[in-house]
Structure 1
Amino acid sequence: MAEFRILDKDLDRVANAESAGLHSTRAVFRLGLALTFAAVVAIVGTLAGAALSGMLVAGMLVATFLALSIGANDVANALGPPVGAGAISMSAGLILVALAEIAGAMLAGGRVTETLTTGILPADLMHQGTEPATVMLAAMLAAAIWITLATWAGAPVSTTHAVVGGISGAGLVVFGPGALQWRGLAGIATAWIAAPIVAALAGAALLAVLRRAIHRAPDRARAAARLLPWVVGCIAAVLTLNALSLSGVGAPVVLGATFAVSAASVVFARIRMADEIAAGHPGRQMLDRMLGPPLVLGAILMGFSHGSNDVANIVAPLAVLGRSTELWPQAEPTSIRLLALGGAGIAVGALLFGRRLVHMVGSRITRLNTARALCVSLATSLTVLAATRLGMPVSTTHVAVGGVFGVGFYREWEERRFRSARTRARKPLPPEELRRLQLVRRAAVLRTLAAWVVTLPAAGVLAATLAWMIG
C-alpha cells in the first residue's frame, strides 16, 4: 500500500498554504475593512460639488488595500519554496521579490492595464463624465468587499477575477448590456481557462526532463551539476530578455546583455554546485541544495511576472478615476509613474505582511519537494509572462494550481509506467481502490473550480449594486 501515493498532496499543501495566508494576513484584511469603510464614508459624506475628488480619494484608499493584500498573499507562491529549502534568507528573498514586483509592474504592466481599461468597456465611454469613475470605484469596492468576505469564510479567490467581474457588473448597470465588449470578455475568460492548462503541461514537461536527466541517472549529484547550471542560465536569460525588451533598449543591447547575464549565471551555478559536491552532503540533501540557485531565480522570475500582471488590478481603475477628475487629468493606464505606484504597493504588502506567510509556507506547511516546486514555479512564471505579453489578466495562484495538477498527473502516469516488477507481481487492487489512491481527488478539483467560477458573478452582482447606489 505504501507504493500507492495520493498524487494530489501538493494540491492539498497549496490549499493549506492558502489557509495559512488567510490566517496570517488577517491584519491586512482588518485594514481592508477599515479602508473600505472609509471609502464608503468618503462617498456618502462628499459634497455634490466635490463628488469626483471624493471618488478619487475613496478609490485610492481601496486600491491601497488591494495592493497590500495582493502583495501579502501572493509573495509566498514565489518565495516559500526557496526559503523553505534554505536557498536564500527571508530578508534577502523578500527584498529581491519586492524589487522584481516593481520592475515587472513598471516594465510590463501596461498591456494588461490597457485590457482592463478598454478591453471590457469601450475606450470612448471611459472619458465621459462621472460614469467611468462610478464604474471603477464600484468595481474596486466590490473586489475589496468580496475578498474580505471570502477571507472571512476561508474561500480562496482571485483579485483579478473579482476586479474583472466588478468592472463588468458595474458597466452593465451604468452603460447597459450593449456597452460591454463581450468579445473582450470572452478572450479574458478563455485565458483564464487556457492558462492553468498551459501551466499544467509545462510543469509536467519540466518534471519529465528532471526525472529523466537527474532522478534516473546513476549519479544524481553529477547529473544535476551538468544540467542545473543550464537551467539557471535559461531562467536568467528569460528574465533579462523580458526586462530589457520592454524597456525600449535597442535589440543589439538586449541580445548582448541577455547572453552576458546568462553566461555569467551558468558559470556561477557551476561553481556553486561544484562546492556542494565537494562538501559531501548526503545525496537527497545535496540535490535539494543544488536546486537552490534555480529556485531563487525562479522566485525572482515569478515576482516579475506577478507584478507585470496583477498591477493592472490597481492601476486600471485608478487611471480611469484620475482622468475623470481635474485633480489628476494626466493619469494614463500606461503611465510609468502610475505603474510604479501600483508595483510599490504590492511590494510594500509583501515586505510588511509577507514574512509570516512565507515562513509558514516554506518551512511549516508545504515543504514541497524542491524539484516539483521548481517545475511549478517555472511553469507558472512562463505562463503568466506569456499572458502578460498578450495583455490578458490571469490569476497567478490559479496558474500555479494548474502547474500542481500537471505535475501530479505526470507523477501518476510515470508510476503506472515504471512500476517495479515486485509491485506487478502482487495481486492487483480493485479499480475503485486504485482510483481512490492514485487519481487527483475530484473533491479538490470541484472545490477549486467552484471558487473560480463563483467569484466573477458574485463580484459582478456586488459591483452592480454599488454602482446603482453611487449613481
Structure 2
Amino acid sequence: MTNTDDKTRAWQTLDRDLNRITRLEAATLYTSRPLVGVGISLVFVTLAALTALLLTGAEPGSLVVVIAAAFGAYMALNIGANDVANNMGPAVGAGALPMMGAIAIAAIFESAGALIAGGDVVSTISKGIIDPASLSNSTYFIWAMMSALLSAAIWVNIATWIGAPVSTTHSVVGGVMGAGIAAAGLSVVDWHQMSAIAASWVISPLLGGVFAAAMLAFIKWKVIYVEDKIAAARVWVPVLIGIMAAAFATYLALKGLKHLIHIDMPRALTIGGLTGIGCGLAAVPLIRRQSRGLENRNRSLKILFRLPLVISAALLSFAHGANDVANAVGPLAAVVYAQQTAGVSGQVAIPLWVMVIGALGISFGLVLFGPKLIAMVGNQITKLNPMRAYCVALSAAVTVIAASWLGLPVSSTHIAVGGIFGVGFFREWHAERRARQMQATRPPKVIAPEERKRRKLVRRSHFMTIVAAWVITVPAAAILSGICFALLSLLG
C-alpha cells in the first residue's frame, strides 16, 4: 500500500467527518430556529414591562400595571401571529405577494392603523358582556381584566400552535365572561349579548362564504367563460375594482376611522359610492394598458387582479390594526385607569405608550410567528388564485358593512375564513356540475370513492379543526380566565 493511497483514504475520512459536522450544524440551526422567535418575544415582553415600570414607577401599586403590560404585550404578539393571517393569507396563496412582502405590508399598515386610527377612547373590551359596576371593587376589576387578557392570549397561542385561525375578539369576550363569573357569579353576564355573539359563529362565516361564492360565480359567468376573455376583462375588471374601492372606503369610514371621526351609515355609503366611481373610472386606462398583448386565456386574467388584491390586503390590515389593537391594550388601559383612580369605568382613555405596545406587539408577532398561519389560510384550505382571493377580500369588507347595517355582531376572522371556504365549496360544486354535464354526452365514468374523496377541493381536516376551534373559543377562554382569576385571588 502506497503513501498516496493512505493520504487518499485520510482525505476521504476527513470529508465524511466534515459532512457529518455540516449536517449536525444544519440540524442544530433548524431545531433552534423556533427558539429565536421565542427569545425575541421574551425580550419584547420584558421591554414592555420595563416601559410600564419607568412610566408608573413612582405610583403606588405600579407592580400590577407592570404585570398587565407584560400580559398586553403577550396578547399583542398572539394577535399578530394569528389574526393578521386572515388579511394576508389570500394574497400570498394567490401568488400576488411573496411571504416577506406580505409581512412587510401587513406590519406597516397594522401599525399605522393602530397608531393613527386606534382611538383615544375605547371600551374596556367588556363588549357589554359584563357590567363594570358589578365589579365595584377596583381590585377585583383589575384582576378580572388581567385574567381576561392572559387567558385570551394563552388560548390564541394554543390556536396558533395547532394551526387554527380564531377570533381574538371572541377570545377576549370569553376571558371577560369567565373572569366576571369567577368574581361575581353568573348573574353578572349579559346572556342576551352572549347569545348574539354565539349566533355570529354561524352568521359570520355563512355570510362571508355566500358572498365570496356569489362573486366568484359572477366572475366566471362574465369574464372566464366567455369567448373573448380579455375584452370582457377590460369591461368588468374596472367595475370590480370600483366595487372593491367602494366597499373598502365604506368599511374604513365605518370601522377603521371611527375613532378619528364619527361617520354614520348614509354618509359612509356616500363616501364609498363616490370613491368607487372614481377608482373604477381611473382603472379603465390602467386595465387597458395592462391587457395589451395578453393571450386569451385564464392565466392572463390573473395579472389584472393582482394590484387590486395587494391594495385590498393593505387596507384590510389598516382597518384590522385600528380595530383589534383594542383587544390587546383595552384591558391594559382599564388596569392603568383603575390603578390610577381607584375607580371602575366602562370606557377609558388609552395612553400613547400603551397603544405603542399594542402596535409593536402585533407587528412583532406577525414577523416572528405569522408565516405559519398565513401559509395555512392561503394555501392549505383550498387553492387560491388572484380572482378567488379577490372574492375573499371583497367579501370581508362587504359582509362587515352589511352586518353593521343589520346590527349583527360578527367576527372579521370568521368572515375571511368563511369566504375561503365559500370559494372552495363553490369550486367543488361547479366542478361536479361540469363533470355531470360532460358525462351526459359521454359514457358514464366510474370513480372509486377514494378517488372521489381525493378530488375534493376543500381540505376537510382543516375545515373541522377550524370550526371546532371557533366553537370552543369562548368557553375555553372563559375557563382559562376563571382559573387565572382564582390564582390571582390566592396570590392577592
TM-score norm. by structure 2 comes to 0.74
Residue aligning to 2:488: 470
Give the conservation status (yes or no) of the 8 Å contact 1:203–1:376: yes
Alignment map for 1:262-277 (pairs within 5 Å):
262-277=276-291
User: Which is bigger in relative contact order (C-alpha 8 A, separation at least 6)?
Assistant: 1
Give the conservation status (yes or no) of the 8 Å contact 2:176–2:481: yes
Residue aligning to 1:314: 328
1:459 matched to 2:477:
yes
Residue aligning to 1:423: 439
Q: Please tell me the root mean square deviation across aligned C-alpha atoms, in Å.
A: 4.3
Pairwise CA distance, 1:382: 2.9
Give the conservation status (yes or no) of the 8 Å contact 2:206–2:418: yes
Between the aligned partners of 2:236 and 2:306, the Cα distance in structure 1 is 13
Pick the aligned partner of 1:198 from 207, 215, 230: 207
Residue aligning to 1:184: 193
Pick the aligned partner of 1:145 from 134, 151, 154: 154
Structure 1: gaps of 5 or more residues: 1-22, 42-48
1:233 matched to 2:251:
no
Aligned in 2, Cα 1:198/1:419: closer, same or farther, shift over 3 Å?
Answer: same
Between the aligned partners of 2:439 and 2:395, the Cα distance in structure 1 is 32
Pick the aligned partner of 2:464 from 440, 446, 457: 446
Pairwise CA distance, 1:221: 1.7
Aligned in 2, Cα 1:51/1:159: closer, same or farther, shift over 3 Å?
Answer: farther
Alignment map for 1:84-123 (pairs within 5 Å):
87=96, 94=103, 96-98=105-107, 100-102=109-111, 105=114, 114=123, 116-123=125-132
Between the aligned partners of 1:200 and 1:144, the Cα distance in structure 2 is 28
Give the conservation status (yes or no) of the 8 Å contact 2:37–2:369: no
Identical aligned residues as a percent: 34
Aligned partner letter, 2:481: A
Give the conservation status (yes or no) of the 8 Å contact 2:72–2:149: yes
Residue aligning to 1:413: 429
Pairwise CA distance, 1:200: 1.0
Pairwise CA distance, 1:135: 0.6
Residue aligning to 2:387: 371
Residue aligning to 1:6: none
Give the conservation status (yes or no) of the 8 Å contact 1:69–1:349: no
Give the conservation status (yes or no) of the 8 Å contact 2:79–2:362: no
Q: Deviations over 1:253-304 (max 9, x none)?
A: 9777655543442244222221222143573332111001321232133224
Pairwise CA distance, 1:108: 7.3
Between the aligned partners of 1:272 and 1:211, the Cα distance in structure 2 is 22
Give the conservation status (yes or no) of the 8 Å contact 2:238–2:283: yes
Select the structure of larger CA radius of gyration.
Answer: 2
Secondary structure, counterpart of 2:360 in structure 1: helix
Pick the aligned partner of 1:248 from 245, 252, 261: 261
Structure 2: gaps of 5 or more residues: 1-31, 51-57
Pick the aligned partner of 1:77 from 81, 86, 92: 86
Aligned in 2, Cα 1:353/1:260: closer, same or farther, shift over 3 Å?
Answer: farther
Residue aligning to 2:24: none
Aligned in 2, Cα 1:228/1:97: closer, same or farther, shift over 3 Å?
Answer: farther
Give the conservation status (yes or no) of the 8 Å contact 2:333–2:350: no
Between the aligned partners of 1:359 and 1:243, the Cα distance in structure 2 is 23
Number of aligned residues: 443
Pairwise CA distance, 1:343: 6.1
Q: Which moved more, 1:108-117 or 1:226-235?
A: 108-117
Give the conservation status (yes or no) of the 8 Å contact 1:79–1:93: yes
Q: Deviations over 1:32-71 (max 9, x none)?
A: 5677899999xxxxxxx98842222211112112223322
Secondary structure, counterpart of 1:311 in structure 2: helix
Pairwise CA distance, 1:409: 2.3
1:325 matched to 2:342:
no
